[in-house]
Structure formats: C-alpha cells, structure tokens
A and B are shown apart, each in its own frame.
Chain A
Amino acid sequence: MIRVEDVLAALTVEAVLSRYHVDYIDGPEIRLAQCPRCGADVKREGFAVNRDAGRWVHHSGPVGADNPCRGDLLDLVAAFEQLDRKRDFRKLVEVAAAIAGVSESTDRAELDARRERYAREREQRTREAAARRAAATAAVPDHWAQLPRRSVAGEAYVKGRGLDPGELIACDAVRFDRGDPAVRLHAYDGTIINVARRLRVPWQTPSGDVRKMMVLPDCTTDGTLVGKVADLDVVGEGPDVAVLTEGVADTLAGVLAFPGCVVLGASGAARMPDVAAAIAPRLVEARGWLLAVPHVDGGTGEDYAALAVIAAEQAGLKLDESIRLVDVRPHKDLCDAVRDGWRWRWS
C-alpha cells in the first residue's frame, strides 16, 4: 500500500510542474501567472510556490490560514487535477505517487529514508522560519532606536503632504529611514514589532506591483501603527478615544488632527478589522469611542472599514454611539483632508 508520507517525501515542485507542462523560471520562489486551483489569471504572477518547502499560495487578498488557494504539494496536485483532497484522497495519492515515482514495488527502506529526511527538512525549515521571525522581531526596537529623528528629504516629503513635521517629530510619531518617513508598529501588547516606512518614491517590484509602504522583512504587520492599545486609559482621566486609520500618512495625519486621542493605524486597509477587533474590548472597558477613518475610494477602503466596524460591534461597541465614522469627503483620505484644512468637529 502506498503511504501518503512516502509520496510527500518523494514529491518535488519540479516534478509536479513538469507533469502538468507548466513553464516557469526556476528560483527559490517560483511565480506563475495562473492559479491551478481557481483558474484565475494572476496578472503579476501572484501565484507563488516555494521550491524547497513545496508550499504554495495564490495571493488573492489578505492571506488567511484557511485560504483555499494554498497548501502543500499534494494540494498542488489536487489543484491541477481539480480533485478535492478530502473526497478524492485515494485518487489524489495515486496520481501524486505516479508523479513522485513511488509505487508498491518501491524499496521500503528507501522510502523510509526519504520520509525521515523529508520530516527532518520540514522541521528544520519550520524552526528556521520561526528563528528568523523571532530574531527579526527582536531586532526591531534597536532598529527603531537607531533611526534618525530628522531628515531633510523626509521632512520635506511630510511637509509636502501637508503635515507639520516639527509637531510629529516632537511627539516622536515619525522617524526617518533612508529619508522615508517611518513609524513604529506595535503588537497588541505594546511591544515594537515592526517599522513601516512610507516610500517617498513608490517602488515597482520586478513582478510589476507598486508598493508605497515597506516593512521590515520577516516581521509581522499585525499590530498598530504609532499608538498602542495600552495607551487607552481604562481607569482614570486618560485618553479613551481611539482613532483607527490605515497607512502611514493617514496615521500621521491622525496624530495632528485628533490631539488627545490615541491614533492606532492599521498597516493597510486589510488589517483594519484585525486592529478594530483588538482595540474594541479595551474601548468597551474604558467606555470610550472608536473613530474610524475610511479611505474614500468607493471600494476597498470603505469595505474594510465596514468590517472593522462590524468587528468592533461584535466586541460591544455600537455604530453612531460609541463608533463614529469620520467623513473626510470630498478628500480621498485623511492626509489630503488635513492638508486642505479639514478639522474634526465633535458633534
């Protein structure tokens, strides 16, 4: 009987791709222009396969643990064969075994050796990834501490966006990394776990994506920009209003536009629901308010802001009572609004 562990140990990315006649450029991360699972054409080769680990993902949005377009090599074979891993498992293993060159007659000792090596390598990779992430995260506070507080180019950029760099520097909301404005990203427990910088000149990746914001490699982006959840006061007369923004520029604009409030930025719109879910319980405890600032783009910005509102409501806040939506129209975001003289009015 063919064991799935033997098949997985023997299966390689090259064998799978070659079986399905997929042309690719070889490298540690192989990028494809079409997802074999959902059939979507991915314009900028957003379908990535890690050659060594055999893990693959179709970057179709915020990557969730249960995104169906991702998995291991067996999932990849299932994707190409349009099989359901659970329902058609036996057939899937047979197909994968044929690709891997594993059969009933394959020497058992050799299969055992392969399986052990595969398990060792997988553990090793997991350990290395965890170690890399831990080391990278541990180095973030030092990295932040070493960033210059002043930069001619960076301050000029901030000023060009209509924000007062002096005020932001004075409250240590912004520092500068290679001339780009940078802000710290806190974990929900308050530790600094990443630094996000707003690129003065957006970067075009080799695959064609344009990035306006960069973070440190191997560090998570699940946290709050500039402010900390713990800054919300639950006992005394401290700040009990959280301002939820997205992106570096809007978060810095929030610091200027909402004095006395705790400005908590999400690292991209897709992170807004996560941040809202993390800060809402504390706001409930503090009996405070959440001011959500959606981007005005007629789509993604508002939709993620809506999810953030829903997440906050599930924790006990209520729209139009303890949740206020900040309307910056006709501007497209808070930064532009502040630049043009917009001011928040409590009503």
Chain B
Amino acid sequence: MKRWTPKAIATEAKLLLIGIPVLLWTLLPVYHLFLFAISERDSATSGRLWPKDPTLQNFAIVFKQQHFYLDHFWLQMWNSLLIAVSVGAITLFIATSAAFAISRLKVAGGRWVMNLALFTYFIPAAFLAVPMYKTMGLYGLLNSQWALILAMVTIASPYCIWVLKQASDKLPWELDEAARIDGATPLQLFRLVYLPLMLPSLVAVGTYSLLLAWNEYLYAFLLLSNDRSVTLAVALGNFLAADDSPWELLMATGLIYALPPAAIYYAFKRYMVSGLTAGAVKS
C-alpha cells in the first residue's frame, strides 16, 4: 500500500474532481429513466431522488399490455428479437464467407470488393435511408420485415467484413498450405481450420450486427408502419405522437427494451472492445 503523502492526496483529489462529474453526467439520463419506470404517474415529477412509494406497477401494465400504446408489446418485442437475430445470422454468413474468400482464398478482385464494402461503411446512414426507402418500395418490400432485415444486413456487413479480414490476415499462411498439401478442399479448410480460429472475431461481429439491428430506429420507422410488424424501437417513438403520453409507461418500456442489449454488451465486452479498438488504432 502506498503512503498518503500530501502530494498523493492532492493527486487523488484532482482525479476525484474529474471522476465525480463524469459519473453524474453519465448516469443522469439513465437514472432519470429508471426513476420514472418505478414511480407512480403523479409522484414521478415530484423531483425526489427516490420515489416515496417505488412500484413495479408500470412494468405490470406493460407486460399485460393494458394501455393502447402497448397493445402489441409482446409481438413488437418478438419482432425486435426476430429481426435482430436474423440480421446477426445473415450478416455473419455473408461477412465470414466474404472475408474468407478475400483473405484466405485470395479471390481475384478481392481488394476491390473490400473497397466497395468500406465505401458503403462510410455512407452516412441517414443519407442512404432516402434512396433505400424508395428502392424497397420498387422491390415491393415496404412494410415487410424483410425490408428492415436486408437494409440492416447491408449496413452491418461492411464493417464486419473489414474486421474479419483484418483478423484473418493475421492467421499464419502455413495453416492453409498444410491443409492444401493434405488435400483439403476449400470448404474443409473453411470449416475445420478457419472457423475455429476465428471464433472470437465471429462472436464480436455477430454481437455487433445483432445489437445494431435491435437498436435501429430510423430504418425501422421508415420501412415498417403496421403496428403488428414494427419493432419495439418504433413503438417507443410512437409515444411521441401525443403530448399527454403516459411517460411512466414509456420509461418502463424503454428500460425493458434497453436491458437486453446492455446485458449482451457487457457480457461480450472483451470481444467487442478488442475488435473495435484493434481496427481503429491501427495506423
């Protein structure tokens, strides 16, 4: 243990002087959300730091769908889940095959494909949304959940391909040579050598695309409109339609909606952070 000299105490104090405002700044909106979710309608705005009678009644109303904003809560939750899992699975398939073909099979024009993907990655999402909406209309996919799934796959896969390519470029080339000499087919190399070695990166990009789809608001609200096909994100946005919305129910629903991605994020944080930063720090 180190000694508490005046200088050491001054250093700690300075660090705390940064740490405390950072903590308050970070938690304020989240705590406000939580406070509302466990407060009764009238006591929520009292300005107390902890409600007089904390209640789970808001959650009960949400789960029993006892408000017309929440008529399809479970169905919308299911839609969010279904769409997120589909996007995760399809993106994983597309990105892994592409990264394997570019990095390990050295497919002709692979560099070109990588550049197309990077270009897509750098189109601001709200800009692509306008032509995407019109095109989905031409394809006859508007209001179908496939429109949202395919749009999110389009947005998620470039980054996934790039991360997977970076990771697979680091695998030793000798492995491929050994497999080829032993007479392995490309698919055997893919299944028996490539996939097991790439597992941590696959977890990272799978989680990334799943969360991206679960969290998406703009594309979901443009491409889906039927109350029975929208995701929970769109349902939350619909609360804004009226001034006298039941905010305590909105906050309770919002909390339920935010918990799964936060839990997944923290569970896979190790993979996510190393995957993200490795790409960004590379110079």
Partners in one complex: no
Where the two chains meet, the residues of A that have a C-beta atom closer than 8 Å to any C-beta of B are: none
Where the two chains meet, the residues of B that have a C-beta atom closer than 8 Å to any C-beta of A are: none
